[in-house]
Chain A
Amino acid sequence: MNTHVKPGIWRRTGNARTAFLYLLPSVILFSVFVFYPMFRTIYLSFFLTNQNGEAALHVGFENFAYLLESSAFLNSMKATVLFVLYTVPIGIIIALFFALLANEKLKGIGFFRTVYSSTMGISVAASSVIWLFLFHPSVGVFNRVLSVLNFPQIQWLLDPEWALISVSISTIWMNTGFSFLILLGGLQNIDEHLYESSRIDGAGYFYRLRRITIPMLSPTLFFIITISLINAFQSFGQIDILTKGGPSQSTNLIVYSIYREAFINYQFGTASAQAVILFIIILIVTILQFKFGERKVHYQ
């Protein structure tokens, strides 16, 4: 028992080996479904592919150079950034507003909580089809209402000026349920005593909101902002169903453009190059967010 021999390397790394064994299942799964596709994507982005999608011609950084000069791709980037700006802040503010409302202790509040979070239960495809009917140029509800009110008709999905806004509106609607649910959960976790003592000190509703609710909610808010940002960058289903990237490329977000390049045009090389660029953008945004956003987060 009391041997003073220095333990061998095998024994010293015992903990590390055990840890690795515990990690192994997730390492394998990640390798198969995340890392391998990722490296494959990076590999393909340096090639032009033939009609069967196999790497055929090594072109180095030519795909990237082409993309950064292509007005279509720059337009995609612009549309994506606009889309993120339209959907994320508004979506979170609306969800926060609903969550604050639904956090009040009233009779029958359960009904409203269910209603506000109900959009989470509808798939992107199903809700996009519903919105497709609402936006319909000749028989859609919105244009009917506008004509009843004597306003000029709007070509919701056909006018390049409007299409991105229309898609954003439907996206906000789809995402609100999830954000609402997470934020409501965050609100419910805030200690009641904080409110009680502040009430005794005579703090008003908005003072409490600003000084207690928002700071205590900040970890949840940070989480939902990060998730919403990534989701917004990766939006695909609603684009595919509502506009297919049109009109005039105004809703051709990067993910949709990748899909089109890969599975309609069979250009896996340029598609992969776009995917790599998107990956870098999301990486940068997330790093920036952790660097600057997290400072304002108050962990208990």
Chain B
Amino acid sequence: MMSIKMKSGVLKRMRNLLKSSLFWILILSLAVLTACTNSDSNTNDEKSNEDKPGTDETAGKVSIEFWHAMSGTGQESLDAIVEGFNESQDKYEVKAEFQGTYEESLTKLRSVGGTKDAPAITQVFEVGTKYMIDSGYIEPVQSFIDKDNFDLSTLEQNILNYYKVDGELYSMPFNSSTPVMIYNKTAFEKAGLDPEKAPETFSEVIATAEKLKTDDMFGFSMLTYGWFFEQLVATQGGLYVNEDNGRSGDATEALFNGPEGLNVFNFLDTMNKAGTFGNFGTNWDDIRAAFASQKVAMYMDSSAGVAGAIANAPFDVGVAYIPYADEVQRNGVVIGGASLWMSKGIAENEQEAAWEFMKYMTTPEVQAKWHLDTGYFAINPKAYDEENVKEKWAEFPQFKVTVEQLQDTVPGIATQGALISVFPESRQQIVTALEDLYQGADPQEVLDQAAEGTNRAMEIANKTKK
């Protein structure tokens, strides 16, 4: 009897212990569970302010977060600019945080957008513009421009054109680039061509590529990336989608499979079939390495890649405007890159801090530094009058070409750039179309497939829009 009693006592105690530890496990799991659900809900207003920046009582400074997607030299330069801002005044403090690629940081923003936890400023790529406007997460910078009587005419008009929607500026342009054609001057000389005169039209490029082609070197190449295709369509005055490139309403139909798009595909197809086109894939580094190691004589790059191309090439590098179809006028280029967006739903003084920082970013000194460090455009043209920029331009006149190409651009719907929320998907369709083209598929057929895919994506986006 005794032993049984003892046993049951032990059992009881054990059960109590078990119960209590289970109780704790339960509490813990519940905590985990609520934490998980909290992070995806957007109505998370009651969360305490301790772990997030805001008004810092002790220092009396307003501290805000700035999410960006700049790595490498861009990040170094950006960190230096942010530090400069923090030291220039004592009211605000900006914390720059690298959040991965443009796609990655946008994905992260989606989980906190519109709440107090959202960063005050986020850098979003140009094709995310429509998505950001539709998202409802953001405060248009236009409201601060109006309040502050900020003079927009000091900024580059061609860049503003892209980001202005219905005459309103939603985000502050920041890092902007355009495509250029970069070529190997030494190879031009060897082939008996004038290295100062780059081919301008599609047929000239085709003929030049033919002459430049050797056993080790292709004549022309283009990164398999939708952006370049968009640009080659726009420079012919072609539209990407209907509804005035999506600027007068929600686009419903892709137009890039029209004659302008077909011109581009035929242009690439001709060279590919003649064996003068080198396919170096979808990776920026690969095509740049191919150019530097003289595997290709002419290629399309971003203006932000000019500095690297000059530095890495053991030969003379030329920079030219992007080619256009023979039968049309050159329209110029569409701005690429990214802009800075201000969050909605954060404290007012944080928005003010964000606005002050944005204004600081547009000053000529900052823009001159940014332009020289990275090769992105200065969004404030006065930056080009800065002494250090003039010096660099004298040394590398190639930089000037990129700016001139932008300033020569004819303003219009085509060069304003398309505005659709499903751009990443559409670009993917173009990549597939290009890859199929290089495998010998029919240009019109692959373009039509890409257009069909884009149409479906736009249809879903319009159907599910709030």
Q: Tell me the A residues contacting B by CB distance below 8 Å.
A: 1, 21, 24-25, 28-29, 32, 48-53, 56-57, 72, 136-139, 155, 157-158, 160, 244, 246-249, 260, 263-265, 267
Asked if A21 meets B432 with Cβ closer than 8 Å, knowing A51-B135, A138-B286, A265-B425, the reply is no
Q: List 14 A-B contacts (CB under 8 A).
A: A21-B19, A24-B25, A32-B36, A50-B465, A51-B131, A56-B463, A72-B432, A139-B293, A155-B279, A158-B279, A160-B439, A246-B432, A248-B439, A265-B424
Tell me if B428 and A248 are in contact (CB < 8 A).
no
Q: Which residues of B are in contact with A by a Cβ distance under 8 Å?
A: 1, 4, 18-19, 22, 25-26, 29, 32-33, 36, 103, 107, 110, 113, 131, 134-135, 224, 279-282, 286, 289-290, 293, 295, 421-422, 424-425, 428, 431-432, 435-436, 438-439, 457, 460-461, 463-466
Cβ–Cβ contact A51 & B464, under 8 A? yes
Given known A-B contacts A51-B421, A263-B107, A25 and B29 have beta carbons under 8 A apart: yes
Are B464 and A57 interface neighbours, CB within 8 A? yes
Question: What chain B residues lie within 8 Å of A249 (beta carbons)?
Answer: 432, 435
Separation of A95 and B3 alpha carbons in the complex (Å): 57
In the complex, the answer to whether B464 meets A56 with C-beta atoms within 8 Å is yes
- A246 near B435 (CB under 8 angstroms)? yes
- Smallest distance from the beta carbon of B369 to chain A beta carbons, Å? 31
B282 touches A28 (CB 8 A): no
How near does chain A come to B127, taking the closest CB pair, in angstroms?
Answer: 11
Residue of B nearest to A29 (CB): B29
Contact A244 B282 (CB under 8 A): yes
Instruction: Given A57-B463, A160-B435, A263-B107, decide whether A138 and B29 contact each other with a Cβ distance below 8 A.
Output: no
Contacts of B25 in A (CB 8 A): 24-25, 28
Residues of B within 8 A of A52 (CB): 110, 113, 135
Residue of A1, A246, A265 touching B457 (CB-CB under 8 A): A265
Contact assessment for B463 and A48 in the assembled complex, using a CB-CB cutoff below 8 Å: yes
Q: Which 4 pairs show the lowest CB-CB distances between chains A and B?
A: A56-B464, A50-B464, A265-B425, A28-B29
Chain A interface, DSSP helix/strand/loop, else mixed: loop
Q: Which of B286, B424, B432, B457 sits near A136, CB closer than 8 Å?
A: B286
In-complex Cβ contact of B435 among A72, A247, A260, A265 (8 A): A247
Main secondary structure of the interface of B (DSSP, over half): helix
Chain A residues positioned under 8 Å from B286 (CB to CB):
136-138
Q: A25-B25, A32-B29, A57-B463 are in contact. List 10 more A-B contacts (CB 8 A).
A: A21-B22, A28-B33, A51-B135, A53-B110, A137-B281, A138-B286, A139-B289, A157-B281, A244-B282, A246-B431
B135 proximity list for chain A (CB < 8 A): 51-52
Chain B contacts for A136, CB-based, 8 A: 286, 289
* CA gap between A29 and B28 in the complex, in Å: 10
Which of B282, B290, B428, B432 makes the CB contact (< 8 A) with A138? B290
Q: What are the residues of chain A within 8 A of B293 when measuring CB–CB?
A: 138-139
Bound Cα distance A137, B282 (Å): 12
User: Which residues of chain B are near A56, meaning CB under 8 Å?
Assistant: 463-464, 466
Do B26 and A24 touch (CB < 8 A)?
Answer: yes
Please state if A138 and B466 are interface contacts (CB–CB under 8 Å). Answer: no
- Kindly list chain B residues whose C-beta atoms are within 8 Å of the C-beta of A32: 29, 32-33, 36
Alpha-carbon distance between A139 and B290 when the two chains are bound, in angstroms: 8
Shortest A3–chain B CB gap in Å is 14
Q: Tell me the bound Cα distance from A154 to B86 in angstroms.
A: 52
Determine the chain A residues whose CB is within 8 A of the CB of B295 once the complex forms: 137-138
Q: Which residues of the other chain, A, contact B224 by a CB distance below 8 angstroms?
A: 246-247
Which chain A residues border B113 with CB–CB below 8 Å?
52
Verify B428–A265 contact, CB threshold 8 A: yes
Whether the pair B464, A158 counts as a contact (CB closer than 8 A) is no
Q: How far is the CA of A264 from the CA of B19 in the complex (A)?
A: 46
Is A158 touching B281 in the complex (CB atoms < 8 A)? yes
How long is the Cα–Cα vector from A28 to B30 in the complex, in angstroms? 9
Q: In angstroms, how far is the closest chain A Cβ from the Cβ of B50? A: 25
Cα A95 to Cα B207 with chains together (Å): 53
Residues of chain B contacted by A264 (CB below 8 angstroms): 103, 424-425, 428
Chain A residues with CB under 8 Å of B436's CB are 248
B466 contacts across to A, CB distance below 8 A: 50, 56
A53 to B113, CA, bound (A): 12
Q: How far is the CA of A51 from the CA of B33 in the complex (A)?
A: 25
Within the complex, which residue of B29, B280, B424, B435 is in contact with A137, where a contact is CB–CB below 8 Å? B280
A56, B463: Cα distance in complex, Å: 9
Give the distance to chain B from A241, nearest Cβ to Cβ, in Å. 10
- Which residue on chain B has the smallest CB distance to residue A263? B107
Q: How far is the CA of A32 from the CA of B26 in the complex (A)?
A: 12
Note all chain A residues with C-beta closer than 8 A to B281.
137, 157-158, 246-247
Compute how far the CA of A157 lies from the CA of B281 in the bound complex, rounded to whole angstroms. 8
When distances are taken between beta carbons in the complex, the residues of chain A under 8 Å from B422 are 265
A residues near B438, Cβ cutoff 8 Å: 247
Q: Known interface pairs A32-B36, A50-B464. Does A24 touch B424 (Cβ–Cβ under 8 Å)?
A: no
Q: Which residue of A lies closest to B460 (CB)?
A: A48
Nearest-CB residue, chain B, relative to A56: B464
Closest-CB distance, B129 to chain A (whole angstroms): 13
Chain A residues, Cβ within 8 Å of B36: 32
Contact for B461 among A51, A155, A158, A244, CB less than 8 A: A51
Question: What's the least CB distance linking B123 to chain A, in Å?
Answer: 18
Q: Which residues of B contact A155 (CB under 8 A)?
A: 279
The 8 Å CB contact of B103, one of A51, A53, A263, is A263
- Please name all residues of chain B whose beta carbon is closer than 8 Å to the beta carbon of A29 when the two chains form the complex: 29
